[in-house]
Copies of this chain bind each other. A is one copy, B any other.
Amino acid sequence: MTKRTYSISELSEEFGITPRTLRYYEDEALIAPKREGQARIYSTSDRARLIWILRGKRVGFSITDIREVLNMHYGEGGKEEQCRVTITACKNRIKNLEQQKKDIDETLEELSSLVDTMTIFMAENYPADNSL
């Protein structure tokens, strides 16, 4: 069993965030580490949640979005209506993410062609290329 635990500074250093950020996430009910006295003790599953949070952020989710998704995972699979709502919410997010992928692809193409154009321009006008 992975009974490893982490202090706030271990975790914040590992992921390149500040302790403040971790406390903020706790305020926002995204993580709920155990306490040893006052100090926060993070478990491996807290760490897993954190990974989700940070990836969520990178894809543009807000704190509220992330909380929603995290709650889906653990949320009461009980009530039928609640289930339906969750499924619908997921599907919406999926649609958004797929649109986002298209947007990214378009942006990537434009940026690439911009790089190409400029590279050619450079080659013509400043041939002393050290080709980085």
Contacts and interface: CB of A to CB of B under 8 A. Distances in A.
Interface of A: 52, 55-56, 58-60, 69, 72-73, 77, 80, 83-84, 86-87, 90-91, 93-94, 97-101, 103-104, 106-108, 110-112, 114-115, 118-119, 121-122, 125-126
A59 to B, nearest CB: 5
A114 B55 contact: no
B72 A107 contact: no
Contact of A112 (B60, B94, B104, B112): B94
B55 A119 contact: no
Contacts of A103: 55, 58-59
Contacts of A86: 118
Main secondary structure of the interface of A (DSSP, over half): helix
Contact of A87 (B77, B83, B110, B118): B118
B108 A98 contact: yes
Nearest to A117: B77
Contact of A122 (B72, B83, B125, B126): B83
Contacts of A84: 122
